[in-house]
């Protein structure tokens, strides 16, 4: 099952691999793709990603297809512009490189629970404790962003439907303005209740971070 939370349950070696290692591999792949800008490297990376995603992790083809479709317009536009400016070889390189990265990111998120990814974020942010920042709060922020993006999109759809049901026909920039105001009100109400829910579920129970140099 996917959504913005892309996790697809499974027991493959890719699923069992620590999320931190997968994120590190994703970062390394990005560096390699930009450090060695050749078509064979980009094509090889794409092949490797497909092999890992489809054969090793046994992810559905449709899932990777959806991820590719989501960036299709950008891929085509980028390839077209690059072809005109730098030629066909560069366009091929740019397309393969971007596609490999998008699909690699999809494989990582589809094989890692959000909690595992959040734990990595918290681990990476651990040094911020030195300046009094709570890494768990940053992790929660990431998790909540993933949770609320589809919810806000759903609320936006509801506002659009409500406007259409009452004859709303605004187009272009005007439609954005008429959507933004009621949506903002709804999101603020949602944020208020969610803040209460966080309190009610003990969000404040976590020991406050303390800057190391502060004497108490």
Partner 1 sequence: MRRRRPGSRAEPVADPARGIELRGVGHGYGDRTVLSGVELRLTERRIGVVGGNGSGKSTFARLLNGLVQPSAGQVLVDGLDTAVHLRAVRRRVGFVFQDPDAQIVHPTVAEDVAYGLENQGVPPAERGSRVAEVLERYGLAGHADHPAHLLSGGQKQLLAIAGVLVMRPARIVFDEPTTLLDLVNARRVARLIAELDQQVVVVTHQLDLLDGFDRVLVLDGGTVVADDEPTAAVAAYRTLMADR
CB of 144 to partner 1, least distance (A): 5
DSSP states of 157-207: HHHHHHHHHTT----HHHHHHHHHHHHHHHHHHHHHHHHHHHHHTTGGGSP
CB of 59 to partner 1, least distance (A): 14
Nearer to partner 1, 171 or 201 (CB): 201
CB of 187 to partner 1, least distance (A): 11
Nearer to partner 1, 15 or 97 (CB): 15
Nearer to partner 1, 9 or 172 (CB): 9
Nearer to partner 1, 125 or 146 (CB): 146
What ranges in the chain are assigned the alpha helix state H?
13-16, 19-35, 39-50, 61-70, 72-86, 88-110, 114-125, 135-165, 172-200
Closest CA to 155 of 125, 183, 120, 121: 183
Q: Which two tokens stand for residue 150?
A: 């589809």
Nearer to partner 1, 113 or 129 (CB): 113
Closest CA to 10 of 76, 94, 107, 115: 107
CA atoms within 13 A on the CB side of 24: 8
CB of 74 to partner 1, least distance (A): 25
CB of 131 to partner 1, least distance (A): 19
Q: Which residues bind partner 1 (CB under 8 A)?
A: 1-5, 7, 9, 113-115, 140, 143-144, 146-147, 150-151, 154, 190, 193-194, 196-206, 208, 216
């Amino acid at each position: 099952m996917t959504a913005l939370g892309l996790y697809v349950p499974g027991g493959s070696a890719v699923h069992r691999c620590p999320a931190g290692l997968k994120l590190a591999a994703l970062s390394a792949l990005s560096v390699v793709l930009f450090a060695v800008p050749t078509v064979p490297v980009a094509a090889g990376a794409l092949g490797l990603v497909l092999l890992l995603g489809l054969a090793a992790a046994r992810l559905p083809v449709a899932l990777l297809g959806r991820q590719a479709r989501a960036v299709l317009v950008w891929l085509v536009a980028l390839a077209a512009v690059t072809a005109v400016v730098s030629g066909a070889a560069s366009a091929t390189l740019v397309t393969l490189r971007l596609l490999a990265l998008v699909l690699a990111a999809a494989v990582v998120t589809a094989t890692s629970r959000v909690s595992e990814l959040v734990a990595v974020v918290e681990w990476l942010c651990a040094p911020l404790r030195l300046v009094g920042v709570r890494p768990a709060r940053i992790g929660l922020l990431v998790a909540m962003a993933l949770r609320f993006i589809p919810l806000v999109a759903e609320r936006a759809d509801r506002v659009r439907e409500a406007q259409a049901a009452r004859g709303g026909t605004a187009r272009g920039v005007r439609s954005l303005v008429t959507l933004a105001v009621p949506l903002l009100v709804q999101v603020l109400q949602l944020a208020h209740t969610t803040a209460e829910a966080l309190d009610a579920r003990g969000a404040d129970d976590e020991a406050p971070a303390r800057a190391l140099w502060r004497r108490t």
